[in-house]
């Protein structure tokens, strides 16, 4: 009986002090494998993408009109670059214009003869000074009318020249067309006088202000870029596009390379701040708001944060964080407060 009791006691002693200790020593601690990055102090620029076209500014758009009824001959093609003084059109008088010129020429001849006669009478004291003045004015008016008829092509073909360096944007008539006086013949966009018309979604337009920085680039040649600013924000939705127009100045030194009709892309910088920042993948969200996990001594710890600017890769954040701390960027969805982790940095 005593030997049996001794045997049971030895088993109990081994069960308590030997077997569990051996099993526990063979079971590793549970930990999560994560990737981390360093919390940084950096400038974060949030942007909007917009697309549009280059258009002439109204104050730099010049129209050439026919001074009187004429037959038109175009000398430059649509879209051509022209220099100041370059011939654009040749105007030939219509039969009616020729008649008006002949009448003006006849009036000038008559007025000159009348003045000579009045001058002779005035020397003989047979005409008054007022009569002499009236004859002189009549000749001046007749000469001015004749000069105008000559400029308008009454005597022969007249050339109309480019008033400034620019681009022919529209030709409203074809060669050989007979037009009435005042008919618009073509339009020229003065060199450097253009702007970009971009479209912004209505839900984003409140973030865009006059003076907001923009980087413009050609859609089909992204190497051509210009840094400029918004000059005007539209106040209505364009029914054709469903977007709000935003005008971006590209005049003067910024206009080189951007011709009217060019398709452009705009990166609008709606917010730029210098702040603590973390990679976008580090920020999670739940009912308590935004948060990240930082790693200290192999353990994950939750830190609540508020995000602001977002440049597509980094979030500017506010919270109990410090530059240089390591924040979890991959594997953070599986973490809980205090969980042991193994890091892979990047």
How many domains does the structure of the chain reveal? 3
Task: Name the pTM for this structure.
Answer: 0.59
On whether residue 12 sits in a domain, the answer given is no
For residue 119, count other CB atoms closer than 10 A to its CB. Answer: 13
Is residue 155 located within the same domain as residue 209? no
Is residue 78 located within the same domain as residue 54? no
Supply 175's token pair: 């060669």
SS3 (DSSP) at 181: coil
CATH number at residue 314: 2.40.420.20
CATH number at residue 178: 2.40.50.100
Is residue 76 located within the same domain as residue 152? yes
Is residue 76 located within the same domain as residue 96? yes
Is residue 66 located within the same domain as residue 172? yes
On whether residue 134 sits in a domain, the answer given is no
Tokens 């088993």: give the residue.
11
Phi, psi of 108 (to 5 degrees): -65, -40
Which helix or strand (DSSP H or E) is residue 136 part of?
helix 129-151
Supply 245's token pair: 């127009």
On whether residue 53 sits in a domain, the answer given is yes
Strand partners, 49: 267
On whether residue 333 sits in a domain, the answer given is yes
- CB environment 323-337: b (16+ within 10 A), e (fewer): eebbbbbebbeebee
Is residue 185 located within the same domain as residue 76? yes
Is residue 243 located within the same domain as residue 304? no
Length of the chain: 346
Q: What is residue 1's predicted lDDT score, i.e. its pLDDT?
A: 45
SS3 (DSSP) at 222: coil
On whether residue 97 sits in a domain, the answer given is yes
Is residue 228 located within the same domain as residue 324? no
Domain residues for the domain of 81 are 61-102+140-190
Are the C-beta atoms of residues 295 and 341 closer than 8 Å to each other?
yes
Which helix or strand (DSSP H or E) is residue 245 part of?
strand 244-249
On whether residue 263 sits in a domain, the answer given is yes
CATH number at residue 260: 2.40.30.170
On whether residue 268 sits in a domain, the answer given is yes
Instruction: Round to whole Å and give the CA distance between 264 and 253.
Output: 17
Q: What is the pLDDT along the chain (346 residues), one digit of tens a residue?
A: 444 444 444 444 444 444 443 333 333 457 899 999 999 999 999 999 999 998 888 888 889 998 877 889 999 998 888 999 999 998 887 766 666 777 777 888 888 888 888 888 888 888 888 888 898 888 888 888 877 776 655 566 778 899 988 889 899 999 989 888 889 999 998 877 788 999 999 999 999 999 999 999 988 888 888 889 999 999 999 999 999 999 998 865 555 567 788 899 999 999 899 999 999 999 999 999 999 999 999 999 999 999 999 998 999 999 999 999 999 999 999 999 999 999 876 6
How many H-runs (helices) and E-runs (strands) does the chain carry? 4, 21
Nearby residues of 187 by Cβ (< 8 Å), 6 or more positions away = 61, 62, 63, 64, 168, 169, 170, 172
Is residue 222 located within the same domain as residue 314? no
On whether residue 17 sits in a domain, the answer given is no
């Amino acid at each position: 009986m005593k030997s049996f009791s001794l045997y049971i006691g030895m088993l109990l002693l081994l069960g308590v002090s030997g077997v569990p200790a051996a099993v526990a020593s063979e079971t590793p601690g549970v930990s999560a494998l994560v990737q981390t990055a360093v919390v940084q102090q950096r400038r974060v620029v949030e942007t909007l993408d917009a697309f549009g076209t280059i258009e002439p500014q109204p104050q730099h758009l010049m129209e050439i009109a026919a001074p009187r009824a004429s037959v038109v001959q175009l000398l430059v093609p649509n879209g051509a670059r022209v220099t100041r003084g370059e011939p654009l059109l040749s105007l030939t008088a219509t039969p009616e214009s020729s008649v008006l010129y002949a009448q003006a020429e006849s009036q000038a001849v008559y007025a000159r003869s009348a003045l000579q006669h009045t001058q002779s009478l005035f020397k003989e004291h047979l005409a008054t000074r007022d009569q002499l003045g009236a004859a002189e004015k009549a000749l001046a008016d007749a000469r001015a009318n004749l000069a105008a008829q000559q400029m308008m092509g009454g005597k022969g073909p007249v050339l109309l020249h480019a008033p400034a360096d620019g681009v022919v944007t529209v030709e409203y008539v074809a060669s050989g067309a007979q037009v009435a006086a005042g008919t618009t013949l073509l339009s020229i966009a003065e060199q450097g006088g253009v702007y970009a018309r971009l479209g912004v979604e209505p839900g984003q337009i409140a973030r865009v202000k006059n003076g907001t920085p923009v980087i413009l680039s050609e859609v089909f040649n992204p190497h051509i870029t210009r840094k400029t600013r918004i000059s005007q924000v539209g106040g209505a939705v364009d029914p054709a596009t469903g977007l709000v127009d935003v005008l971006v100045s590209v005049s003067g030194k910024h206009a080189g390379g951007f011709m009217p009709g060019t398709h452009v892309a705009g990166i609008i910088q709606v917010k730029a701040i210098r702040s603590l920042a973390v990679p976008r993948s580090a920020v999670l969200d739940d009912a308590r708001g935004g948060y990240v996990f930082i790693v200290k001594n192999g353990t994950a710890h939750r830190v609540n944060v508020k995000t602001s600017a977002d440049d597509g890769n980094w979030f500017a954040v506010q919270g109990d964080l410090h530059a240089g701390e390591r924040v979890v960027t991959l594997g953070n969805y599986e973490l809980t407060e205090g969980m042991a982790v193994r890091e892979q940095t990047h």
